Amino acid sequence: MCGIAGWIDWTKDLSEENRMLKQMTDAIRHRGPDAEGFWLDGHAALGHRRLIVIDPDGGKQPMLYKDSENDVVLTYNGEIYNYRELKEELTSLGHQFDTESDTEVLLHAYLQWQEQCVDHLNGIFAFAIWDKNKERLMLGRDHLGVKPLFYCKRGDQVIFGSEIKALFAHPDVKPELDEEGLSEVFGLGPMRTPGKAIFKDIEEVRAGHYMIFSKEDQQTKQYWKLESKEHTDDVDKTVETIQSLLEDTVSRQLISDKPLVSMLSGGLDSSGLTAMAGKEYKENGKTLSTYSIDFVNNDADFKEDFLRRDLDEPWVKKVSEYVGTDHTSVVFPAEKLVNNLLIPMKARDLPGVGEIETSLYLLFKEMKKNATVALSGESADEVFSGYPWFHQEKFLDADVFPWLLNIGGIGKVLKKEIREKLDIPAYQKKKYQDALEELPVLEGEDETEAKQRRMSYMFITRFLPFMLDRKDRASMMTGFEVRVPFCDYRLVEYLWNIPSSMKNIDDIEKGILRRAFADYLPEDVRYRRKSAYPSTKDDAYLKGVTEWMRRILDDPEAPIQSLIDAEVVRYIADGKSDMPDTSVRGLFDYLIQVNGWLEEYGIKVHI
């Protein structure tokens, strides 16, 4: 895993712009603490920060290839999980390799197939390729958008980077926010519109897309999308296919020249992956290490809520003992979560979801002490339709994104004149309708299945990108790589067309996945009900963020004061509203981050 940055200027010679390029890569040093690399020539400047995972000696970047017909340079972030098969295929086509790295395989894939190289890749990736002879730049991103890639067009320039902060290190990119950006921040929150980076004039290469830039033209191509068709496999064949795909995916994603561990919550998803990985480790005479997260006083403070049914730790212990892992439970006090609240915002360059993001960052920081790579169960609920939202009519029938019915009150604290100008409810509905227009419908599908397909599309294309953002930035902030086997595009394609009645077989969410893990987990673990990523219930957390919010309200220079109705927020902080504590915590988490974000980045707001 790594960080990439650079820019193209078709009217200037960039060969002496080393200082500027280094500023951009230094801004994302955390993504690649092990090495740096630069390539500047003519109209192109490409930089790289490296986190060494595969082929320490051979994977140095930017990587060049030059012969009588080609002059190409690549800077790349990610892992190509089928690189060994691709290398064999490319060798048979006459290509020669000097390293054992997947980077060189990607470079030669471009030489062989040009922009169609993405059709041959299975992995998580974001890359930039400068083809000097054609004077064109290619930016490519993986199928589900696991790895980030942002860009900004400025006249004859294209400026790009793994994170927005890399773009801000270039003098021609400024942190500005317009009405659309404000609508995203206060209307959609962290679940932003695909391709939108919130900041004015900054975009993100969308998942499953690549872009081609030349001096005269800019093209965007979608190389992968979900396609709706009838699912013809019976239950047994479906279970067998899911199990086979997961076994293959996990095996591929265990490849690493650095220590690898697994995240383990005791839930179905992480437990099943841990069991698969643990079996392969045991067959090779090794013991898999696992990690979980817990909070001080959680036994006494825990309260069941919409997303969390019971405590994780008893289940974590059971699975660890069953699989035979070397387990570490990392425990955090509420005060530490409060004190580190703004770090994930700085990692994402955008406000996020607060303490569940903070705790994830702190967990990765601990894991980094003993490893460089981890497996995660992220995205299983999106692709297997596991969330509670999928199983209640009020969410299935909503005319906005279903999660907004739980968290959608942020815009109500804006000043009246701003609220009226933005019209947040209309913006939310418009973005939902835009998503509906993309939906690949299946003709003849009954109403219940059509609703489930619609819900599934929203979660895969709108909610999952936020979850992947959260995991990527929180992990890479500590120089740590997290892999997500449930995001293998082959699995996602297959699951997309399985009817919800089959996905939820045995009258339980993700029933088909529970069957697929029958050879790996005991029955009580397989049929444990869904419980989301844990959250501290300690009252000290609410007290901490409420006091912080009051300090912001008491500071006339706080940048968020120009946007929010301070009286409304103070009314909530004084405990006079009827908002439940969990909602108050979420609101204050977010407003504190928005204030810190405006201040940290010196954002100029245009409204």
Letter string b/e over residues 305-326, b meaning 16 or more CB atoms within 10 A of that residue's CB = eebbeebbbebbebbbebbebe
CB 482 within 8 A of CB 376: yes
Q: Is 2 a catalytic residue?
A: yes
State whether residue 162 is helix, strand or coil.
coil
State whether residue 485 is helix, strand or coil.
helix
376 annotated binding-site participant: yes
Find the helix or strand (DSSP H, E) in which 275 lies.
helix 268-283
Closest CA to 499 of 565, 547, 443, 452: 452
Instruction: Kindly write down the DSSP assignment for every residue of 496-533, as one continuous string.
Output: HTS-HHHHTGGGSTTHHHHHHTTTTS-HHHHTPPP-PS
Residues in Cβ contact with 489 at an 8 Å cutoff, skipping those fewer than 6 apart: 122, 142, 143, 144, 224
State whether residue 306 is helix, strand or coil.
coil
CB 227 within 8 A of CB 443: no
Q: What distance lies between CA 497 and its chain's CA centroid?
A: 23
Cα separation of 180 and 208, whole Å? 24
Q: 46 to each of 18, 36, 467, how far by Cα in Å?
A: 10, 11, 28
Determine if the peptide bond prior to 62 is cis (ω within 30°): yes
Q: 176 to each of 180, 182, 306, 594, 602, how far by Cα in Å?
A: 11, 10, 36, 14, 9
460 annotated binding-site participant: no
Closest CA to 151 of 96, 209, 237: 209
Instruction: Kindly write down the DSSP assignment for every residue of 398-435, as one continuous string.
Output: -SS-TTHHHHTTGGGGB-HHHHHHH-HHHHHHHHHHHH
Letter string b/e over residues 13-37, b meaning 16 or more CB atoms within 10 A of that residue's CB = ebeebeebbebbbebbebbbbeebb
Cα separation of 35 and 60, whole Å? 8
293 annotated binding-site participant: yes
User: Phi and psi dihedrals of 566, rounded to 5?
Assistant: -60, -35
Which tokens in the block code for residue 478? 């500590």
Q: Which residue has the tokens 């108050």?
A: 584
Q: How many beta carbons lie within 10 A of that of residue 199, not counting itself?
A: 24
Q: How many beta carbons lie within 10 A of that of residue 468, not counting itself?
A: 24
Which tokens in the block code for residue 603? 């954002």
Side chain identity, residue 537: K
Cα separation of 508 and 491, whole Å? 20
Q: With 0-12 CB in 10 A as exposed, 13-18 as middle and 19+ as buried, what is 423? A: middle
Closest CA to 344 of 252, 474, 217: 474
Annotated binding site: 102, 293, 376-377
Positions marked catalytic: 2
Annotated binding site for L-glutamine: 102
